[in-house]
Chain A
Amino acid sequence: MSAESICSDAVRFSDERLAEIKTLVARYPSAQSALMPVLYMAQEDFGYISMDAQKMIAEVLGLRLMQVREVVTFYTMFREQPCGTYLLEVCTNAGCMLNGANELVAHMCDSLGINVGETTPDGLFTVTEVECAGACGGAPVVQVNNAYHEKVTPEFIDALITEKRAEGAE
């Protein structure tokens, strides 16, 4: 990294990650194509994609910060803020709505004492509504940290909350 580096030293990819990125870039005609996969790496490593992380990624891929910013802000799956340990994403689009998704969201929010988009005070759960998850045959669909759960019932949600709270208390 050059002396006039614009980012803080707090957010850095490991050497293993940098090697992985080098291999990844070689699969595309241009390094810019590797931006989305690299943003996923940052989110996995740091929990969310801070402004410092975005500056660091711009340097690593040789892009302007604005090129990184506009991708981070365009796509809903890139998070600029931290979220709870368990991100509960409920699809409320057509197929899920017709099979009780709104009632499921209400139940989830009631049980956790939060509104959609909020995180519980203990930092354990964040609830969000998402657009069609592409699994309408299993409606209603809830993703828990990217893992799909289908035909989800209020009982399933209750059990999940109880289990994760118990794990969190350990």
Chain B
Amino acid sequence: MAISSDPRQVKQICFDRIDIPHVNTLKVAREHGAYEFLPTVLKDFDTARIIDEVKTSGLRGRGGAGFPTGLKWSFVPRNTGKPTYLLCNADEGEPGTFKDRDIMRFDPHLLIEGMIMAGFALGVKDAYIYVRGEFLHEAQVMNAAIDEAYAANLLGDDILGSGYSMNLTVHRGAGAYICGEETALIESLEGKPGRPRFKPPFPAVEGFYGCPTVVNNVETLATVPAILKFGGDWHASIGIPNNTGCKIFSVSGHVNKPGNYEVPMGTSLKTLIEDYCGGLQHGSVPKVVIPGGSSTPWLTAEHYDTPLTYDAMMKAGSMLGSGAIIVMDETADVVALSRRLAHFYAHESCGQCTPCREGTGWLKRIMNRVESGQGTEEDIQVLGDAATHMAGRTICALADGAAAPILSMLEHFPEEVRARLVEKAA
């Protein structure tokens, strides 16, 4: 690995090897440090030390919730007599998010190495990568890398003579956004429709087939090898306290150079958009920025300088989420965008909770009316009421995600919505 042991020099962690040609092959990956530190971990580290390093690192889950990874691992009960499972969440379906795809298709061995280390810490014998169904190519790249890893005794029985054994299987989803929710993912991996489960019990105690289960995002697991190699303190010195390390931001929408950019946490939104993404397509300040995927509340120009951290985004009234930044410049039609997102959430609601199943349908139908100039003042009232009453009243957070764009639109652009009503259009 070319990552510097001096945390002040570190600009990237997960994307360190991303531009190296053919680094998806074991040979090239190994030439650039893949699996170099693994024998040391298997020989000299134990569960307590690994969990301790990850806790010290301050690493927070990169899938969206930002839960401290080391803490999540520490919840797994030991000696239950049941197997412990490790599931990698590669369902990546939050509109705006496309970072895990690049790790899998360009540097699959980084994810595999992270999973072996996590699996070793948790005493896992069987691990799975749940990849969204559309990512067929990514699943094929992962499978080819896994085959190479088995052949090199990096997976399977008695890994590198350490006595530790782990199997790794890629499992494809089939086009259901809800399966990115960890308990829906578990249901799906059990061969069922992806309907989220009530929590508690949390997966750490009762997950896949009722056994202790850890579900971690791709980027989270891909950060583990660097943390164990350089130490938890090293990682904790990158970024800012409580928001440590680097983070991949998937930037899309009205920017000149959309794409994935990994930067130290704390970099400002404006710096990311102007220095990395080539600025906006039109104008100098964004009309709307959705900072953490389509389910997170919108920010406007006043928050353009916000540092990209979990805490600062929350203070600004939104969430860092998965780091999926959707940017809209002055040309954007916020009503059309909200209508499209309302359609998305109605389509993806699993249907088990009434407020979500019915509420997403209401939001979609009303937004269709409003966008096409058929809406009324009463519709605006109902939009706000429905969105408010859905959020927080369901098993999972999909309803909250569906409410966010509607409430943001009503909060920031009420005049644009009213301009579309039937009275005005007539």
Binding site for B on A (CB under 8 A): 27-30, 32-37, 39-40, 63, 67, 70-71, 74-78, 92-95, 97-99, 130-139, 143, 146-148
Contact = CB atoms under 8 A, between A and B. Distances in A.
B337 A97 contact: yes
B93 A132 contact: yes
Interface of B: 83, 92-98, 101, 126, 132-137, 167, 169, 171-177, 188-194, 208-209, 211, 250-254, 258-260, 290, 294, 324, 326, 328, 332, 336-337, 340-341, 344, 347-348, 350
A169 B211 CA distance: 55
A116 to B, nearest CB: 13
A74 to B, nearest CB: 4
Contacts of B133: 40, 75, 77
Nearest to B167: A27
Given A29-B209, A143-B134, A137 B191 contact: no
Contact of A139 (B94, B252, B336): B252
A4 B340 CA distance: 49
B189 A75 contact: no
B334 to A, nearest CB: 11
Contact of B95 (A37, A77, A94): A94
A135 B324 CA distance: 11
A142 to B, nearest CB: 12
Contacts of B259: 137
Contacts of A136: 95-98, 250, 252-253, 258, 324, 326
B175 A95 contact: no
A75 to B, nearest CB: 4
B254 A134 contact: no
B378 to A, nearest CB: 27
B95 A78 contact: no
A40 B172 contact: yes
B98 A137 contact: yes
The listed residue with most B CB atoms (<10 A of its CB), out of A40, A133, A137, A147, is: A137
Contact of A94 (B126, B251, B340): B340
B325 to A, nearest CB: 10
B294 to A, nearest CB: 6
A32 B190 contact: yes
6 contacts: A29-B126, A30-B191, A70-B193, A98-B326, A131-B95, A136-B98
Contacts of A130: 134, 175
Contact of B189 (A33, A98, A137): A33
Contacts, number: 147
Contact of B340 (A97, A134, A139, A147): A97
A36 B326 contact: no
B388 to A, nearest CB: 22
Contacts of A137: 98, 250-252, 258-260
A35 B337 CA distance: 36
Contact of A133 (B83, B134, B294): B134
B193 A132 contact: no
Contact of A132 (B83, B94, B167, B188): B94
Contacts of A71: 191-193
A36 B340 contact: no
A76 to B, nearest CB: 4
A148 B134 CA distance: 9
Contacts of B211: 29
A134 B174 contact: no
A77 B175 contact: yes
B190 A95 contact: no
A97 B340 CA distance: 8
A135 B193 contact: no
Contact of A74 (B126, B171, B194): B194
A134 B134 contact: yes
Contacts of B97: 132, 134, 136
Given A134-B135, A136-B252, A95 B95 contact: yes
Contact of A75 (B96, B169, B176): B176
